[in-house]
Amino acid sequence: EAGVTQSPTHLIKTRGQQATLRCSPISGHTSVYWYQQALGLGLQFLLWYDEGEERNRGNFPPRFSGRQFPNYSSELNVNALELEDSALYLCASSNKQGGEAFFGQGTRLTVV
């Protein structure tokens, strides 16, 4: 069974541009979580989607947004990129019954 997959693995953008990161959850999982991990720092919760709706949001500005598609895959968009947005962006999925969440290997975004 395939795990959580994220694409691309690496992304380089210029300050002010937009970045789009993608996540495919484990088959049967309806919840997708997004986290940001800046270099040397901890995981910061960004967004949680379930059944196509945003269920919870972390303390991030509105230029961080996303959506979840009918097949439960998800997209994270970061607008007006700033240098401090450079980080590893992690996606996790879980099923509707709760329990453990499983993480992908992340997208490393570098803003130059």
Partner 1 sequence: DAKTTQPPSMDCAEGRAANLPCNHSTISGNEYVYWYRQIHSQGPQYIIHGLKNNETNEMASLIITEDRKSSTLILPHATLRDTAVYYCIVRVSNYGQNFVFGPGTRLSVLP
User: What is the contact surface with partner 1 in residues (CB under 8 A)?
Assistant: 4, 31, 33, 35, 42-43, 45, 48, 50, 55-56, 58, 88, 90, 92, 96-106, 108
Which tokens go with 25? 């959850």
Please report how close the Cβ of residue 73 comes to partner 1 at its closest, in angstroms: 17
* Distance in Å, CB of 16 to partner 1, minimum: 26
Minimum CB distance to partner 1 smaller for 38 or for 80: 38
Cis status of the peptide bond prior to 25, with omega within 30 of 0: no
Q: How far apart are CA 45 and CA 91, in angstroms?
A: 10
CB of 54: closest distance to partner 1 in angstroms?
A: 12
CB of 38 to partner 1, least distance (A): 12
11 and 107 Cβ atoms separated by less than 8 Å = yes
Task: Give the nearer residue to partner 1 in terms of CB position, either 13 or 57.
Answer: 57
Q: 32 - beta bridge partners?
A: 49, 93
Q: Which of 4, 37, 36, 1 lies closest to 22 in space, CA to CA?
A: 4
